[in-house]
């Protein structure tokens, strides 16, 4: 088909032979074989000049579309390979979608402006499940355990802080312990949240049953309830930096603390990452190695169960 298309485009068997590095007799023979296959002439021959017949024009139109589409497909694959285009599907928690991912995605987009980024938000458990059903390729989440098909790389670590309203009595008392929180109305994260799992585990280990007021997946809603004195809560420190600066919220260290949340890079073990996902993973791995993109790393790191950096050492 390609030989027929080039011949029709050039209106010459000799020009087609030259372009395809073939002899003219070889081109003529293959065109005749194609005409025998269709049982209809495809070219009018006028000496050295050729002209498409009606059947030839019909076939040439389809051939042109085939080869235009082939060329477009090749360009698309090359652009994807070279990260000129493509789609990155990544999942994370609602908290990190607001406080961590914007800087990471901005760094990625500076290097690969043609890549379309789709950011999926949910609890850590929901996002982990999304990897298993191929909704997302890569995730940045915090969970204590993962299904076996998932590869887990420790990315960073963040402190979980007890947050209180500015006039809460615990802001002026001695360093509180978990037992002092037993009767306090606790606003806890939604099921599937890594923060929820860690905090409830600490209460269980201390033999204390907390007084859960409500469960919520929206951190802004949780902060608003705490600010207005409706209860207390635990959130990652990065989520309340502005409120702490303004003085609308307070934090207290606990006798049993500090508590930390391990933030992990997660993806399927036995599935090759797309070029876009691999490029984003490479960016995250550089963060782990340097604490920034090539900048000096902070030497004093908080201890972690699985390694990694505290969020505030990652200059993103």
Query: Do 45 and 192 fall into the same domain?
Result: no
Query: Do 131 and 70 fall into the same domain?
Result: no
* Vertex 13: Cα angle to 11 and 16 (nearest 5): 85
Contacts of 174 (CB under 8 A, 6+ apart): none
Determine the pLDDT at residue 79: 67
The model carries a pTM of 0.64
Query: Do 281 and 150 fall into the same domain?
Result: yes
Kindly list the averaged pLDDT for each block of 10 residues, start to end, along the chain of length 316: 89 89 91 93 89 94 91 76 80 88 91 90 92 93 88 90 92 88 92 89 92 90 94 92 93 90 92 89 86 38 40 42
Which CATH number covers residue 9?
1.10.10.10
Determine the pLDDT at residue 300: 32
In a domain, 28, yes or no: yes
- Give the burial string for 22-56 (b: 16+ CB within 10 Å, else e): beeeebbebbeebbeeeeeebbeeeeeebebbeeb
Determine the pLDDT at residue 275: 87
Secondary structure in 3-state letters for 281-298: HHHHHHHHHHCECCCCCC
Query: Do 134 and 229 fall into the same domain?
Result: no
Query: Do 150 and 163 fall into the same domain?
Result: no
Which CATH number covers residue 244?
3.40.190.10
Determine the pLDDT at residue 72: 82
Determine the pLDDT at residue 291: 65
> Domain end: 27, 47, 81, which one?
81
In a domain, 49, yes or no: yes
Q: What whole-number distance in Å separates Cα of residue 31 and Cα of residue 53?
A: 13
Q: What is the span of the domain harbouring residue 173?
A: 156-260
Closest CA to 219 of 202, 199, 234: 234
């Amino acid at each position: 088909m390609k030989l027929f298309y080039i011949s029709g485009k050039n209106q010459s068997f000799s020009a087609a032979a030259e372009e395809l590095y073939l002899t003219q007799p070889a081109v003529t023979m293959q065109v005749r074989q194609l005409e025998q296959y269709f049982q209809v002439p495809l070219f009018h021959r006028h000496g050295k000049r050729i002209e498409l017949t009606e059947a030839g024009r019909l076939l040439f139109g389809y051939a042109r579309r085939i080869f235009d589409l082939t060329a477009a497909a090749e360009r698309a694959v090359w652009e994807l390979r070279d990260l000129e285009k493509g789609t990155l599907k990544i999942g994370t928690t609602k908290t990190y979608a607001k406080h961590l991912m914007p800087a990471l995605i901005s760094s990625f987009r500076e290097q690969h402006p043609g890549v379309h980024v789709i950011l999926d938000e949910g609890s850590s458990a929901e996002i982990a499940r999304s990897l298993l059903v191929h909704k997302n390729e890569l995730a940045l989440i915090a969970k204590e355990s993962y299904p076996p098909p998932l590869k887990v790389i420790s990315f960073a670590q963040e402190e979980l802080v007890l947050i209180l309203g500015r006039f809460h009595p615990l802001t002026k008392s001695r360093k509180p312990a978990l037992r002092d929180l037993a009767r306090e109305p606790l606003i806890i994260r939604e099921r599937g949240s890594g923060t929820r799992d860690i905090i409830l585990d600490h209460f269980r280990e201390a033999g204390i049953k907390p007084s859960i007021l409500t469960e919520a997946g929206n951190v802004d809603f949780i902060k608003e309830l705490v600010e207005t004195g409706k209860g207390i809560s635990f959130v990652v420190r990065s989520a309340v930096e502005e409120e702490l600066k303004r003085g609308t919220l307070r934090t207290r260290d606990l006798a049993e603390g500090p508590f930390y949340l391990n933030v992990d890079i997660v993806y399927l073990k036995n599935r090759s990452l797309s070029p876009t996902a691999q490029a984003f993973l490479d960016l995250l791995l550089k963060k782990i190695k340097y604490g920034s993109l090539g900048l000096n790393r902070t030497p004093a790191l908080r201890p972690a169960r699985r390694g990694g950096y505290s969020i505030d050492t990652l200059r993103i």
